[in-house]
Structure 1
Amino acid sequence: MKKILLIPLMLLTMIPMAACSGSNADLILPEQQPENSGSGDEDDSTDPADPTPGGNGRYLVLYCSRTGSTERMAQQIQKILDCDILEVEPQVAYDSDYDGMLSRAQEQLSAIRQGNYPAIKTSVEDFDDYDIVFVGYPIWYSSIATPMQTFLHNHASKLSGKRIALFATSGSSGISTSVDEARRLCSGATFTETLLLTSSTLSQMESRVSAWLETLGASRENNYPSTSMNLKITVGNRTITATMEDNAAAKDFLSRLPLEVTLNDYNNITEKIFYPSPALTTTGVIRGCAPVPGDITIYVPWNNVAIFCKSWSQSNDLIKIGHIDADGMAALNVPGNIAVKFERQ
């Protein structure tokens, strides 16, 4: 008889235990949405967004901003360049409460370290028309704000071979950790000089942004990207031309023009070389070249550009990115170093 009475008592005891067995991670409150796992290369949860167009189709400004400081930087860049602009937005807006926002940011940064990226609303179809993609974000705990980390993660393959210019705002943190993160997220892209404004320098935004864009060679001129693969090279009072290859390394080189450099003589007028900074992208570009006079190449181990004045043996470390036209090598096939200017033709 005691055993019979014990069974219903045990069943009643188990009901509240079952109700409490789920962890807090399984509970989705009405105003919340689950974060995506970030395991794929692209975000399939949203349709691609169209950036707000400007008159200059060479540049795109991407930004995320919570307090508005990074947004003002993005708008200043857009105003100067008259270019396209797009905000990267989280799937769920951040709490207006500062402490709540910090707590969520810490949780998301911890999740990203485990490979789980928070969901965002924003995606872009392609970046083919842009010479430079400007990427702006606030710095959270020395890191890129999590919505932008997700965006870069989701679009890594599409940004491969592109030139990326990072800009950021922070209270006092430096930018170096976030730059390393961006390079890891988009390992196939090329990164330019960065711009950081802290709480003590935000008042200088207009002058600092203008100076930075001038350093990058970005301007309102040439409103539409040139599709020409032809190159003009000025050597003293002489102008010669070259035809570039249709590969990512050559396109990266063309995107940096105009460019004034000194070509250093190497190996007794075998090559004229210089070191672009940052190095030109070579990801996914076919290697291997037996150079002849006039070939413009990249020597991958050293990341230098080499224009060959003499023929050389086959090397799998060389990437051909162009060739000097006609008799143009006569201007370069001289002893010593030479100052030159590269421009699109």
Structure 2
Amino acid sequence: MSTPRGGRVLRAAPVTALLLAALLALPALSYAAGQPKPLEVAQRKAINPGLGPAPEDLDRSTPAATWRSFLSLGAKGAFPAAAHCLDLSEVPTDRQFDAGLRTAERLYKVLKALGAREDTVRADTPEGPMVDGTPLNYVVAIRFNRRGMRGEIWLRRTVASGSGEMVSLFTRRTVSSVALWYRVLIRHEKIQSGPLDMGLGAVPPDVNRSTPRDTAKGYQEACRHGDYRRAAFYFDLNAIPEAQQAEAGPRLARRLRIVLERTTWVDPENLSNDPGGLPEPGLGDDDELLTTIELKKTKVKILLHRHFFPDGSWAWVFSRSTVAAIDPLYAQYGFGWLGDRLPAVFFNVVVAGVALWQWTGLAIFLLLAWFVS
């Protein structure tokens, strides 16, 4: 009897040892899971060249120095100087001054509303906090959850590859989020949200609508593959009855492609790659201009719009006003009935200045003429 009992003990011993080892490892695993992950130093060709030279007395050498400088300049209303504390690399150079001035003023008001103090950021070394001897190269200055809005305000170590200048700046993600934070926390706006394109069904996993650039690229790629059903997910079809969206969406996606190809070249790289988009004069904070197309005696703006969902997430899609303009634009620039039915290759391929569909029509006409004769 003792042998079987002893055998069970021997067989159980490895299992017990494994359980004990796992229990001992839990604190270490928990610690590792909660550890912030270091980032590389952000690389930029130049630091905000559109702002001109930074003030000589502006200290951006550490996260804490940039934080103190920004709050001090903001308190004086010196927002042109405070803009030098922002990473404006996603903003075209010729627009950095205006965008920087506006964003700096708004960010300062947001920070004051969140109770920011000069000692909120204490990391006073260029690389910021260290984790296991490795520099993080960033600081999360504030995390907040106010009025249903969650956000994080970051500063990151940034280097200009041309000059080698190393500074700490409010990150691009922070800069692109300021407009939305300002609307909710300062203006107390209620952001409209709701479902999108329910008639199309579930959004395919390869549809990326995170930024204006992602949306433009995704739409163009879907069109190149002739996948107009997927391309329709980049549209705001909410003005169309849900039961008609599955049919109308692909047709409109195809028609817009034809209009764009016949009127203007759109390079997605010219669009913002930030989730918050790039504020533009004369447009709403949630709109970004793709291009403008003449329609009779007017000009139609082809806009991307940020649509908010009830959970706080969003998607960049072609705006409702753009979707409503597609059929009138197609009536002027499209190929009518043929354009809705023939494969795209008939319109994309041009030989001797004549589109393939025109060559095909000419061939059919000549064949019929020969047959009749």
Fold match (TM-score > 0.5): no
| Structure with larger Rg | 2
Q: TM-score w.r.t. structure 2 length?
A: 0.23
TM-score of the superposed pair, with normalisation by structure 1:
0.24
Report which of the two has the higher share of helix.
2
